[in-house]
């Protein structure tokens, strides 16, 4: 009889220090920026979450729980000062049909209306709220995925993403962003002295994921499930000093990510739109940047953005120019025709008269059959 392997826990209890950090995150005043002359909504994060939960209950669609996900959850779990921009929240619930999606949307819009500063709200309808305060709306209804997402706009990249999930095949990209923290104990009694709060890693092994977070290591599982291959998030982690947890597999993973990125975003228009969206969501945006090309973002952005573009350019170059034994993207490439990587003391910078796509577009046709096993 085959013996079973050691038990792997996906869930563990937060420490008191982590719970205190979680309270700080929930107690933070966040801003939802309106377009035009519409006012900025300022409220504590916990008040927004509680309002959405109550609206769903009133609509007869109570969420099973509320979970903090993404960078904010990693910040709570981290032993050091893990920086984050996005505030991702998951509401697991039963979504049976289109009426369920409509009720979720109404709950979100009613929450925005309640949170708006006192003013004449009688002439404000759902379409107005969507145009003014919602940065992105997504609805997915399929056999393996049934969920909707509402991104509440913030000019500085600190968007609040509300995700209402019945089924979702993939809920993380890398182990360090795989954490989900159940918030209900604090939503029910924020100052409860003996609150028990649990954190789960969708990566599978919560202790290994914690170790990766503390040691700044990059790892994933079943990368074929990641839309876009996780390429942009991978470059973001590189700029923050993360390294591969399995260096021997790093080269394969990088080629896989590039291949999958070009499969999911096969033309220049979709690629540039994906880059713009990622930059806006993680580095912020303002009115002056709306006409910028991807090269403008790289050459005229802040140091963090420049470093991110440099890593992306290097990875694209390594993908197009593989060399035996190369297990990373640290090597400096020779200058290309229109693109040059110019290292500086602190960050890299892309200097170009062409678009960044010219670096990343592969020199050979990429098909699903060309994906490498990882």
d(CA 49, CA 59): 16
Joined tokens for residue 306: 């420049």
pLDDT, tens digit, 9 for 90 and up, residues 92-128: 999 888 889 999 999 999 999 999 887 667 778 888 8
d(CA 30, CA 154): 9
- Using only C-alpha atoms, the chain has a radius of gyration, in whole angstroms, of 22
Joined tokens for residue 299: 């050459």
Annotated domain spans of the chain:
9-215, 220-283+306-317
Joined tokens for residue 278: 């990622």
Q: Which of 322, 309, 325 has its CA nearest to residue 359?
A: 309
Beta strands 243-244; 217-218: pairing state:
parallel
Backbone φ/ψ region at 197: left (φ over 0), alpha (ψ -120 to 50), beta: beta
d(CA 292, CA 47): 36
CB 145 within 8 A of CB 168: yes
18: CB partners within 8 A, 6+ apart? 76, 77, 197, 199
pLDDT, tens digit, 9 for 90 and up, residues 191-225: 998 999 999 999 989 999 999 999 999 998 887 78
d(CA 68, CA 171): 12
* Residue carrying the six token digits 């992105």: 136
In the prediction, which pLDDT does 120 show? 65
pLDDT, tens digit, 9 for 90 and up, residues 216-250: 999 988 877 888 888 888 888 888 888 989 888 88
DSSP bridge pairs for 179? 201
Phi, psi torsion values for 161, nearest 5 degrees: -110, 120
Backbone φ/ψ region at 270: left (φ over 0), alpha (ψ -120 to 50), beta: alpha
pLDDT, tens digit, 9 for 90 and up, residues 242-282: 898 988 888 788 888 888 888 888 888 888 888 877 777 66
- Count the Cβ atoms, other than its own, within 10 Å of residue 364: 7
- Going by pLDDT thresholds of 50, 70 and 90, the confidence category of residue 37 is confident
Helices (H) and strands (E) in the chain, counts: 13, 14
- Count the Cβ atoms, other than its own, within 10 Å of residue 368: 9
In the prediction, which pLDDT does 330 show? 37
- Going by pLDDT thresholds of 50, 70 and 90, the confidence category of residue 360 is very low
Phi, psi torsion values for 293, nearest 5 degrees: -85, 175
Separation in Å, CA 333 to CA 133, 235, 247, 261, 263: 43, 17, 20, 21, 25
Give the SS3 label for residue 144: coil
Backbone φ/ψ region at 70: left (φ over 0), alpha (ψ -120 to 50), beta: left
User: Of 341 and 47, which is predicted with more confidence?
Assistant: 47
In the prediction, which pLDDT does 311 show? 55
Give the SS3 label for residue 124: coil
* Residue carrying the six token digits 């945006």: 285
């Amino acid at each position: 009889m085959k013996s079973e392997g050691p038990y792997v826990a996906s869930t563990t209890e937060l420490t008191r220090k982590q719970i205190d950090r979680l309270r700080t995150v929930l107690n933070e005043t966040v801003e939802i920026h309106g377009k035009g002359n519409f006012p900025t909504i300022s409220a504590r994060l916990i008040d927004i979450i509680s309002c959405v939960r109550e609206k769903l209950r009133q609509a007869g669609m109570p969420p099973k729980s509320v979970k903090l996900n993404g960078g904010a959850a990693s910040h709570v779990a981290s032993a050091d000062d893990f920086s984050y921009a996005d505030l991702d929240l998951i509401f697991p619930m039963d979504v049976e049909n289109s009426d369920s999606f409509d009720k979720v949307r109404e709950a979100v819009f009613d929450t925005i209306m309640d949170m708006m500063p006192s003013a004449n709200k009688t002439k404000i309808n759902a379409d107005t709220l969507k145009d003014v305060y919602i940065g992105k709306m997504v609805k997915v209804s399929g056999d393996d995925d049934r969920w909707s997402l509402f991104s509440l706009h913030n000019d500085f990249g600190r968007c609040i993403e509300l995700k209402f999930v019945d089924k979702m095949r993939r809920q993380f990209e890398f182990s360090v962003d795989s954490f989900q923290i159940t918030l209900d104990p604090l939503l029910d009694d924020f100052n409860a002295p003996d609150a028990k709060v649990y954190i789960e890693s969708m990566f599978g092994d919560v202790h290994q994921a914690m170790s990766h977070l503390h040691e700044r290591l990059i790892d994933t599982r079943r990368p074929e499930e990641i839309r876009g291959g996780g390429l942009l998030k991978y470059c973001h982690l590189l700029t923050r000093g993360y390294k591969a947890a399995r260096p021997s597999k790093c080269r394969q993973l990088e080629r896989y990510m590039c291949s999958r990125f070009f499969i999911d975003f096969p033309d220049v228009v979709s690629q540039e739109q994906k880059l713009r969206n990622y930059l806006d969501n993680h580095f912020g945006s303002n009115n002056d940047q709306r006409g910028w090309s991807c090269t403008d973002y790289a050459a005229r952005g802040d140091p963090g953005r420049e470093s991110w573009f440099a890593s992306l350019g290097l990875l694209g170059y390594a993908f197009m120019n593989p060399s035996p034994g190369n297990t990373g993207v640290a090597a400096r490439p020779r200058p290309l025709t229109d693109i040059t990587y110019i290292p500086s003391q602190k960050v890299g910078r892309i200097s170009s008269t062409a678009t960044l796509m010219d670096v990343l577009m592969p020199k050979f046709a990429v098909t699903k059959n060309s994906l490498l096993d990882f």
